[in-house]
């Protein structure tokens, strides 16, 4: 056995034990074994309603998620009938409320929809909002709207063919909280100043005279203070146009299909930055390709991801590689997760370093 392979085999042995021990990194421990884990989080394959039940009370800072929407047209990941949908989702919401810390938040991204066969909007996303506040016990901390300028026109029948409706390019994003006082810091998500504001900051005296506006706002000298950015609004303009990156490259490399309904990383990033601090735990209960986990890790938060489809879980692991793995390594990683092995992704990060070291590179 070469030195490289000896090193690798002893490294693997130690790691098998560590896969379980690593679960003490600070994220709550589940009875189920993870599909994969990193130094900051763990992804589980299964029904979230069962996985949530394994989490202790008050253990999570933020649940950020985008459930399968109540669309009329079946998507590859399946949808529940609109009538059942609200009740179905409320069962998850009750468990989410239990596992959230008192100052925790639950942010839910919901796409709009039409009633079957008519150009009349479904009220399901508003029914979800009312149900979660009236019955489940959440507070609505704020309603957000995600505008995706790159969204293609839909539904085809009402927008493209008959030209009766505008294209639907805004999702409702409900920010729920367990109490009326969730942890939040808007200064962590300041927006760039407008050109007008930049000019004002550069030369306040030349630009305006302090006075009381008709609206009652006192636009005094303090208004010209540079706070590093503007307070963002609750309309988030984020295009959903990712066309490269580790995840898509990984799917292409091993010839597996990409998740069809990913949200852009900027969406969870905004709420993770505003509602949590480094070291806090973020959970996505409908994780799909695990965009949320990747962003949480980049932001130095801990994360948990729950996803029903093993195929989606297996490809989502590619997000956490360093980008220099071979096709065979990626295939092996994918197959191990598909077989139900608990994989420590550090194996795939350190393996190359070790082999390079052994080869004297």
Ligand X SMILES: C[S@@+](CC[C@H](N)C(=O)[O-])C[C@H]1O[C@@H](n2cnc3c(N)ncnc32)[C@H](O)[C@@H]1O
175 binds ligand X, rule: CB under 6 A: no
68 binds ligand X, rule: CB under 6 A: yes
Which residues of 216-309 form beta strands (DSSP E)? 218-219, 235-237, 281-284, 302-307
Least distance (Å) from ligand X to the CB of residue 69? 7
Active site residue 59: no
The two three-digit tokens of residue 43, written as one number: 């992804």
Looking at the Cβ atoms of 299 and 307, the one nearer to ligand X is 307
Least distance (Å) from ligand X to the CB of residue 68? 5
The two three-digit tokens of residue 232, written as one number: 């963002």
Q: Are 217 and 180 in contact (CB under 8 A)?
A: no
Terminus-to-terminus CA distance in the chain, angstroms?
19
124 binds ligand X, rule: CB under 6 A: no
Catalytic residue among 67, 182, 264, 268, which?
67
Least distance (Å) from ligand X to the CB of residue 238? 12
Give how far the C-alpha of residue 40 lies from the chain's centroid of Cα atoms, to the nearest Å.
Answer: 15
Contact letters (x/-) for ligand X, 272-311, by CB under 6 A?
Answer: --------------x-xx-x--------------xxxx--
38 binds ligand X, rule: CB under 6 A: no
Torsion of Cα atoms, 317 then 323 then 328 then 334, to 10°: 10
Catalytic residue among 34, 105, 109, 182, which?
109
191 strand-pairing partners: 230
Cα-based angle 238, 146, 148 (whole degrees, multiple of 5): 50
Nearest residue to ligand X, by Cβ distance, number only = 288
Looking at the Cβ atoms of 175 and 306, the one nearer to ligand X is 306
Reported as type and span, the H/E element at residue 268 is helix 266-275
Active site residue 109: yes
48 binds ligand X, rule: CB under 6 A: yes
HSE on the CB side for 219, CA within 13 Å? 13
315 binds ligand X, rule: CB under 6 A: no
Looking at the Cβ atoms of 155 and 268, the one nearer to ligand X is 268
Q: Are 164 and 158 in contact (CB under 8 A)?
A: yes
Can you give 312-340 as a three-state secondary structure string?
Answer: HHHHHHHHHCCCCCCHHHHHHHHHHHHCC
148 binds ligand X, rule: CB under 6 A: no
Which member of 262, 273, 301, 336 binds ligand X (CB under 6 A)?
262
- Beta strands 60-65 and 281-284, pairing class: parallel
Which residues of 148-219 form beta strands (DSSP E)? 170-177, 211-212, 218-219
Looking at the Cβ atoms of 200 and 236, the one nearer to ligand X is 236
Which member of 312, 318, 334, 348 binds ligand X (CB under 6 A)?
312
Active site residue 67: yes
Catalytic residue among 40, 48, 66, 154, which?
66
Segment contacting ligand X by CB under 6 A, of 41-49, 94-102, 123-131, 295-303:
41-49
Segment contacting ligand X by CB under 6 A, of 42-50, 138-146, 295-303, 335-343:
42-50
Tell me the CA distances in angstroms from 170 to 116, 144, 163, one per residue in order.
20, 10, 18
Q: What is the DSSP letter of 43?
A: E
**Residues that are catalytic:** 66-67, 109
Q: Which residues would be at the binding site for ligand X (CB under 6 A)?
A: 47-49, 66-68, 77, 259, 261-263, 286, 288-289, 291, 306-309, 312
């Amino acid at each position: 056995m070469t030195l490289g392979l000896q090193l690798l085999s002893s490294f693997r042995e130690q790691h098998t034990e560590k896969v379980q021990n690593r679960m003490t990194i600070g994220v709550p421990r589940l009875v189920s074994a993870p599909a994969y884990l990193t130094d900051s989080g763990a992804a589980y394959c299964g029904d979230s309603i069962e996985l949530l039940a394994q989490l202790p009370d008050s253990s999570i800072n933020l649940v950020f998620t985008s459930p399968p929407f109540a669309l009329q047209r079946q998507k590859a990941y399946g949808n529940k009938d609109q009538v059942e949908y609200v009740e179905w989702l409320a069962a998850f919401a009750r468990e989410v409320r239990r596992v959230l810390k008192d100052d925790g938040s639950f942010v839910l991204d919901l796409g709009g929809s039409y009633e079957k066969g008519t150009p009349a909007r479904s009220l399901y996303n508003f029914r979800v909002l009312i149900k979660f506040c009236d019955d489940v016990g959440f507070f609505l901390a704020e309603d957000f709207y995600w505008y995706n300028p790159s969204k293609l026109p839909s539904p085809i029948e009402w927008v493209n063919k008959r030209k009766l409706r505008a294209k639907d390019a805004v999702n409702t994003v409900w920010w729920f909280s367990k109490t009326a006082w969730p942890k939040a810091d808007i200064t962590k998500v300041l927006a760039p100043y407008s050109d007008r504001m930049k000019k004002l900051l550069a030369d306040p005296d030349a630009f305006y005279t302090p006075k009381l506006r008709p609206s009652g706002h006192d636009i005094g000298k303090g208004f010209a203070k540079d706070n590093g950015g503007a307070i963002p609004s609750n309309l988030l303009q984020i295009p959903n146009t990712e066309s490269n990156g580790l995840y898509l490259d990984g799917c292409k490399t091993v010839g597996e299909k990409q998740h069809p309904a990913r949200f852009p990383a900027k969406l969870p990033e905004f709420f993770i930055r505003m509602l949590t601090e480094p070291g806090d735990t973020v959970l996505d209960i409908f994780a799909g390709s695990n965009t949320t986990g990747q962003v949480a890790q980049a932001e130095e938060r801990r994360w948990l991801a729950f996803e029903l489809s093993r195929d989606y879980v297996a490809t989502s692991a590619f997000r956490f590689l360093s980008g220099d793995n071979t096709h065979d390594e990626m295939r092996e990683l994918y197959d191990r997760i598909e077989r139900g092995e608990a994989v420590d992704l550090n194996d795939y990060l350190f393996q190359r370093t070790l082999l390079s070291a052994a080869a004297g590179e």
